[in-house]
Amino acid sequence: MTQKLLGVILAAGKGSRIQPLNLYLPKPLLPVCNKPIIQYQLEDMRNIGVRDVIIVVGHLKEEIISYFGDGSSLGLRIRYVEQQETLGIAHAVAQLEHVVDSPFILFLGDIFLVPKDLQSMERMFWERRAGAVLAVKREKNPEYVRRNFAVILHASGTVTRVIEKPRYVTSDLKGCGVYIFDLAIFDAIRRTPRTAQRDEYEITNSIQILIDDGFPVYPAEVIDWDMNITFACDLLECNCNQLQRLAKPYLIGENTTIHPGAILEGSVLGDNVTVEHPIKIKDSLILSGSRVTSTQDLQRMLITPEVSIECAASERK
């Protein structure tokens, strides 16, 4: 495969529903097993041969820029484009038209993904000369389809409709926030109206315009597990799931001090954490810089330097 995709990650949003986690970190920098969500995405891109990446930044942009710099530490070349107003995914992609001159793979920076074969998704794009390829997953729980977008297929296997946050779920095929686009997407975005629902420019509407223009759009079932990080407890869910995938009983960051009598089980502790008492910490996430002063055992807790959040048991598998 001689053609090379450009990489794009959208990391500009404020993520107001995840407060207070977004007050000092942009969502894409939130940690899963002590590594930022966006770093997983950069590594996924690198694994399929992407070397040039553009990150669209906005909220707390300095944090992302200072963390990754020019990308050389990851073997990448990273550039940054600022989205001044957060007016939706299509609006964010539109900021790139003047700097993008080749097909690109797009990740949404607030979705944690465990891909299984992005290489086949790229192959599909080149071999079928697609207008777009959408990463999708069969989803048993309709609620997770409602939080993303539904994908409707023609009998031939091409995508005929994409429905953003559907009220009535008629398809178990869910879009997962990874796309490969040809440059024709920019023409579609220019004709994408603002939605009445959220007053934004939705990329799903742009994809529908692409389909209606006759460009072939294909689904690629290349995602093993994903979570749209919308609420604070979603971050705990991602950490617990990834910890199981790593087959580790727990994970401890650097310069973390734990009482010798404390017991850790299924939990992730960040850097510079202090656990003062001999308590049991189970299925919990303690972010960097936190001091745990509780004398009671903790279960399914998300603890930050500012706040402690109790999370209900998850039904997500």
When mean pLDDT is compared over 69-83, 133-147, 190-204, the highest value belongs to 69-83
Of 201, 228, 255, the residue at which a domain comes to its end is 228
Instruction: Mark whether 145 and 242 lie in a shared domain.
Output: no
Residues 6+ apart with CB under 8 A from 196: none
Instruction: Mark whether 131 and 158 lie in a shared domain.
Output: yes
Mean pLDDT calculated for residue range 17-42 = 88
Residue 126, domain member (yes or no): yes
pLDDT at 171: 84
Q: How would residue 163 be classed by pLDDT, with cut points 50, 70 and 90?
A: confident
pLDDT > 70 fraction of the chain, expressed in percent and rounded: 96
The more confidently predicted of residues 13 and 211 is 211
Distance CA 254, CA 38 (A): 20
pLDDT at 61: 92
**What is the token pair recorded at 176?**
């997962």
Mean pLDDT calculated for residue range 193-215 = 86
195 in helix, strand or coil? coil
Residue 317, domain member (yes or no): no
Q: How would residue 194 be classed by pLDDT, with cut points 50, 70 and 90?
A: confident
Question: Does 216 score more than 90 pLDDT?
Answer: yes
Task: State in Å, rounded, how far the first CA of the chain is from the last one.
Answer: 35
pLDDT at 1: 47
Mean pLDDT calculated for residue range 203-208 = 94
Residue 188, domain member (yes or no): yes
pLDDT at 134: 97
Residue 270, domain member (yes or no): yes
Question: Does 196 score more than 70 pLDDT?
Answer: no
Instruction: Mark whether 136 and 213 lie in a shared domain.
Output: yes
Question: Does 282 score more than 90 pLDDT?
Answer: yes
Host domain of residue 301: 232-310
Domain count of the fold of the chain: 2
**Average pLDDT, whole number, for the chain?**
91
Instruction: Provide the CATH number for the domain around residue 48.
Output: 3.90.550.10
Mean pLDDT calculated for residue range 24-33 = 90
Instruction: Mark whether 205 and 248 lie in a shared domain.
Output: no
Of 228, 255, 277, the residue at which a domain comes to its end is 228
Mean pLDDT calculated for residue range 8-18 = 83
pLDDT at 316: 55
Instruction: Mark whether 237 and 301 lie in a shared domain.
Output: yes
Question: Does 317 score more than 60 pLDDT?
Answer: no
Instruction: Mark whether 243 and 255 lie in a shared domain.
Output: yes
Instruction: Mark whether 191 and 254 lie in a shared domain.
Output: no
Instruction: Provide the CATH number for the domain around residue 280.
Output: 2.160.10
Q: How would residue 5 be classed by pLDDT, with cut points 50, 70 and 90?
A: very high
Instruction: Mark whether 180 and 109 lie in a shared domain.
Output: yes
CA dihedral 151, 163, 165, 63 (to 10 degrees): 80
Q: What is the DSSP code string of 13-72?
A: ---GGGTTGGGTS-GGG-EETTEEHHHHHHHHHHHTT--EEEEEE-TTHHHHHHHHTTSG
Q: Could you report the per-residue pLDDT of 74-110, keeping only the tens digit for each?
A: 999 999 999 888 788 999 999 999 999 999 999 999 9
Of 194, 228, 262, the residue at which a domain comes to its end is 228
Distance CA 266, CA 256 (A): 17
Instruction: Mark whether 26 and 160 lie in a shared domain.
Output: yes
Mean pLDDT calculated for residue range 275-298 = 96
Q: Could you report the per-residue pLDDT of 236-262, keeping only the tens digit for each?
A: 999 999 999 999 999 999 999 999 999
The more confidently predicted of residues 24 and 312 is 312
Residue 275, domain member (yes or no): yes
